[in-house]
Amino acid sequence: MQINYSVVIRTIGKAGDKYKALLNSIEKLNPSPIEIIVVIPEGYSLPKERIGNGLKEKFIFSKKGMVEQRLRGIEEAKGEYLLICDDDISFDSDFVCKLYEPIQKNMCKMSAGPLLSFFPPRGIRGLYNNISSGAVKTIFNKDKYVHILKSSGWSYNRNINLDKKVYYYTESLPWTCFFAEKKALEDINLREEVVWLDKHGYASLDDQTMFYKAHLKGIETVVVSDAIYEHLDARTSTKGVRDNVTYSKGFNRVVFWHRFIFMQQKNIISKSISLISFCYYMLCTKIYSLLKGIKSKQQRAQNKIFNSGIKDGRRYIKDLEYKSLEKI
């Protein structure tokens, strides 16, 4: 099978053995990519590890910003299709072929393998997520991987059949690894969202924003159940930026909900339901954070940062910059 595709890797060059495992996986891919683009933000050094098997990386630098870095690689790539990866995953040699199949069948424009570790853990945290509507185990959408809720949270299907090939439509995915038609990525126009996603040093909800915006535009994504990959999780994106992460989780949550959920409702009843759903979710989040903060001074400090992000997000949706974004 011939597939004209590029591999695009986002890294800050510090994933070490995990990055090497990714390079080893790319070496074994059949068919091979036409190019491998490695995107590094300005101010960081090139990774020491190099690919073999007659392949060669093309290193490019981007402005700082998680979304900016990803988009720089997408825009630079020459392939008709793109395999977009973080720097800490590994997969088998037939991985791309499995992801290409539903696109070839015109089922979708983007595809990915299942990443069950992306779902909330069981236990108290999982119970809280269900109660708050932040991440709810699905009851009705058994044919989907993830469905976005009016609260801005999501429902998920943990019962993915990994023993045989099953296609599950999805409205969101982790950015960790996915395969896509380049033209579809251009049509999504995620660059329009960089102005707020990358605004505060950590792009919370960047993956949900891209895939749900695609869904709203009629660009569908499928999860291929037997396209298994391993996420080694180098956790390089959040090191040293905890306050930015916390603030962005508040700010970006407000903007995402308002832009992609509230503003998409067609009448006053559905708008009211989405508003009540979001307020309920935020109330549950605040109560949970307050309880965690009873015994932790550090948690109380993080709660203040999160609340500040929410307040500033509410101000931002009234700002001219936000109002000038393209209508979806």
Q: 180 with 82: CB under 8 angstroms?
A: yes
Using one digit for the tens of pLDDT, what is the confidence trace for 55-89? 999 999 999 999 999 999 999 999 999 999 999 99
pTM of the model: 0.94
Using one digit for the tens of pLDDT, what is the confidence trace for 263-322? 999 999 999 999 999 999 999 999 999 988 998 999 999 999 999 999 999 999 999 999
Question: For residue 202, what are its two tokens?
Answer: 């950590």
If one counts every other C-beta atom within 10 angstroms of the C-beta of residue 190, the result is 19
Q: What is the pLDDT of residue 247?
A: 97
Provide the CATH topology of domain 5-119+158-231. Answer: Spore Coat Polysaccharide Biosynthesis Protein SpsA; Chain A (3.90.550)
Q: What is the pLDDT of residue 71?
A: 96
Please give the distance of CA 118 from its chain centroid, rounded to a whole number. Answer: 10
Please choose, from the candidates 220, 228, 225, the residue with its C-alpha nearest in 3D space to the C-alpha of residue 110: 220
Q: Which parts of the chain register pLDDT below 70?
A: 234-240
Torsion sign (Cα): 299, 301, 302, 304: positive
Q: What is the domain partition of the chain in residue ranges?
A: 5-119+158-231, 242-318
* Percent with pLDDT over 90 in the chain: 85
Question: For residue 92, what are its two tokens?
Answer: 């088998």
Q: What is the pLDDT of residue 236?
A: 57
